[in-house]
Structure 1
Amino acid sequence: MSENKLGDKALDFIINEMVDTVTNSKDEIFQISEDSRTEFEKLSHELVETKKQVHALINEGDQLEQKVKFSRMRLSEVSKQFQQYSEQDIRKVYEQTHGLQMDLSMNREKEKQLRVRRDDLEVRLRGLEETIDRAEALGGKISVVLNYLTEDFKHVSDALEDAKEKQQFGLKIIEAQEEERRRLSREIHDGPAQMLANVMLRSDLVDRTYRERGVEEAMVEMRSLKKMVRSALYEVRRIIYDLRPMALDDLGLIPTLKKYIATMEDYNKNITISFTSLGKERRLESKYEVALFRLMQESVQNALKHAEASHIKVKVEMTLQSTMIIVKDDGKGFDLNEKKDQSFGLVGMRERVDMLDGELSIDSSPGEGTIVTIQIPING
């Protein structure tokens, strides 16, 4: 058997193994989501009943308080004029007052226990709701991965008949993966990881401040700590959004582009990014929306990282036959004839455009900024 066929079978075996693993993971996540949803419904019903019981106990307690009040007044009156009442009457009034007080005490204790139960149910429901949301989001991402493995990757395998081409393509994928991992590692280390380390230090400071200086100064430190946690959360969400914006599947290309650009402009305070959309907005097939978003994202990231631009303009024009994206910046530009060592991003853009039978043109020169024009024909 030739080396090429051996390579084909090995790659197909790996893909099938990956598909099986991802499918099983998706089923497990779905089961977790369903179990959480069942528990959520059960606890929701229990919470409604608990709130009703709390309300009923509050009303009952209010009535008992009134009865206790009148009984005490009656007891006080009997005590002052005990000559007019028999010992049996006085004992009866006393026992009645005592009994009402015991009923009121038991009522308040039941109410307290039910309030604790109610608060516990609300906390558990919030946790389950977060679990369900995360499971659904993760299930959606796994569906995308599964689609990629079962369709796109198999198309790649069919297209690359030569074992050497497969090896070179695989090396490019590995190189891109490693570069992305290095980037994520740097971003997480410099961002959320560093912030969380500071949170640990500041939490110790809050504890020491509370013990040594009191509640007021400890609250000041707590507010500062809250800001740090909020910043860490913002960084984590930004990194997740860079990996795969869920809005792309839910809302479509144009709203996702608007949100991404607004996020980038907010994150890069010294750069203005404008966005213009022409034509009738409509949903495209997933492969077109993902490709167009990634192409725009790569173009904007190149302008942010390498061009030293102060203004970036993004324009999207949608027609029935095609979609065009233009990204223009006023940065330092570059020589198109000069070979860059780190030009894999542009190579990846060209390969992605070629896969969709589109056109990519880059107009740039030193000191004149850069214009990236991408046009993708839309079939069907």
Structure 2
Amino acid sequence: MMSEKKFGDKALDHIIHEMVDTVTNSKDEIFQIGEESRNEFEKLDKELKETKREVCSLIDVGDKLEQKVRFSRMRLSEVSKQFQKYSEDEIRKVYEQTHGLQMDLSMKREKEKQLRNRRDDLERRLRNLDETIGRAEALGGKISVVLNYLTEDFKHVTDALEDAKEKQQFGLQIIEAQEEERRRLSREIHDGPAQMLANVMLRSDLVDRIYRERGVEEAMKEMRSVRTMVRSALYEVRRIIYDLRPMALDDLGIIPTLKKYLATVEDYNDLEISFTLFGEERRFESKFEVALFRLIQEAVQNAVKHASASLIQVKTELQPSSAMIIVKDDGKGFDPKSKKDKSFGLVGMRERVDMLDGELTIDSSPGEGTIVTIHIPINS
């Protein structure tokens, strides 16, 4: 019994240390991003100052050249009017001098224009880098708070689990849940934000090339496309964070959180989602609210991703001792029997419902849409 207890303590301690190390590494990576952004900021700031000096110098040279051009034009006009007084060589020399000054002035003005555009581009990039540095610092601070919670609060977990066997089972469950969550997050980040950001990097290099080859207007079109991609990546990151744990669930309860979640899904996926509540809105124990939210979330995501639905109806009935959920869509449907062994989402829903002694039924057939019905008993 003592050896089992020691094994459970070690397994749990290992899990806690692994979680702390993961968060610490994330904090270090964010710090590194901030440092690299600062270095890039200093480099661009130095280049911007040099560019501004060159612009001022070119303006001064251009102004002086303009005076010379005006004087040379006046001289050319005078010679042209009284060409009898001057030889052919003198007239040609005045003309060539005037033409040369005009060409020189035109080149200086064109270079000044290019430097002005470069200056404006550097200023925009500096503003973006400054925003990135600020976000990195804010996120680093938040991770520091999370790290403090992990290192302080998890110290009490081992004391709370006195039985060795329970500790061992608890540790194994944490490992399984942690690894599964890592796989899911890895897939979502790889398929979503990671690919989008990689594409943004390629497109940002393309912007510079388009600017040089096709001009400002075409470059701005490409920039607008890149901005749309960044906005999509940001939405995906926020969605992943929201999927991990919606903070509104603890603060506001299940119903307001559901309304906000469904409205977000509706706006982003350009479909219609209706929500109907039967019974009185009230709060439940946290595990029931989390379970209800996750079940509805999984059913709605299945309808959006796999059923290609255009209309989703979510109905929730709250009673003092039970909760009933119905999620209906007009999508392409499927055969529940053939999908049963392959759909991890449905398996997860069944396991979650079974843990709460509830019932889950799925009514669907190809081309006829899907109706998911869930009944959960609520213990006081």
TM-score tier after normalising by the smaller chain length? 0.5 to 0.7
For residues 1-380 of structure 1, the aligned pairs below 5 Å read 6=3, 9-19=6-16, 131-132=137-138, 135-136=141-142, 139=145, 166=169, 170=172, 174=176, 180-269=181-270, 271-334=271-334, 340-356=340-356, 358-367=357-366, 368-380=368-380
Contact (CA 8 Å) 1:29, 1:139: kept in 2 or not? no
Once the two structures are superposed, what CA deviation does each residue of 1:115-152 show, in whole Å capped at 9, x if it has no partner?
Answer: xxxxx9xx989966874466448846986999899779
5+ residue gaps, structure 2: 28-125
TM-score (norm 2): 0.56
Highest RCO, 1 vs 2 (Cα 8 Å, sep ≥ 6): 2
Aligned residue for 2:280, secondary structure, equals coil
Q: Which amino acid aligns with 1:259?
A: K
Superposed CA offset, 1:227-254 (max 9, x none): 2222221222222222222332333211
Could you tell me how far apart the structure 1 residues matched to 2:179 and 2:23 are? 25
Match of 1:109 in 2: none
Distance in 1, matches of 2:172 and 2:212, equals 59
Post-superposition CA distance 1:21-59 (Å, at most 9, x none): 7679999999xxxxxxxxxxxxxxxxxxxxxxxxxxxxx
Aligned equivalent of 1:111: none
Q: How many residues align?
A: 279
Question: Take 1:238 and 1:316, find their aligned partners in 2: how far apart are those partners?
Answer: 23
Match of 1:68 in 2: none
Paired residues of 1:362 and 1:370 also in contact (CA < 8 A): no
Q: Note closer, same or farther for the CA distance 1:12–1:314 as it changes in structure 2 (3 Å cut).
A: farther
Aligned to 1:372, what secondary structure does the other structure show?
Answer: strand
Whole-angstrom CA distance in 2 between matches of 1:234 and 1:359: 34
1:88-125 deviation digits (Å, cap 9, x = unpaired) = xxxxxxxxxxxxxxxxxxxxxxxxxxxxxxxx9xx989
Q: In the alignment, residue 313 of structure 2 is paired with which amino acid? A: K
Going from structure 1 to structure 2, the CA distance change for 1:340 and 1:377 (only over 3 Å counts) comes to closer
Gaps of at least 5 residues in structure 1 are: 31-119
Letter matched to residue 248 of structure 1: L
Question: Residues 238, 146 of structure 1: CA spacing in aligned structure 2 closer, same or farther, 3 A cutoff?
Answer: farther
TM-score, normalisation: structure 1: 0.56
- 3-state SS in 1 of match to 2:283: coil
Compute the displacement of 1:362 (Å): 0.3
1:34 corresponds to: none
SS at match of 2:327: strand
Q: In the aligned structure 1, how far is the partner of 2:343 from the partner of 2:4?
A: 29
SS in 1 for 2:239: helix
Q: Is the CA contact 2:5–2:164 (under 8 Å) kept in the aligned structure 1?
A: no
Q: Structure 1: how far apart are the matches of 2:336 and 2:157?
A: 35
| CA-to-aligned-CA distance 1:234-291 (integer Å, 9 cap, x gap) | 222222222222332333211221222223233433x432211233323333222212
CA RMSD of aligned residues (A): 4.7
CA contact (8 A) 1:273 1:313 kept: yes
1:318, distance to aligned residue in structure 2 (A): 2.4
Alpha carbons of structure 1 residues 376 and 195: separation in structure 2 relative to 1, 3 Å: same
Identity of aligned residues (%): 60
> 1:325 and 1:6, CA in 2 relative to 1: closer, same or farther beyond 3 A?
farther
Aligned mates of 1:247, 1:146 — CA distance in 2: 24
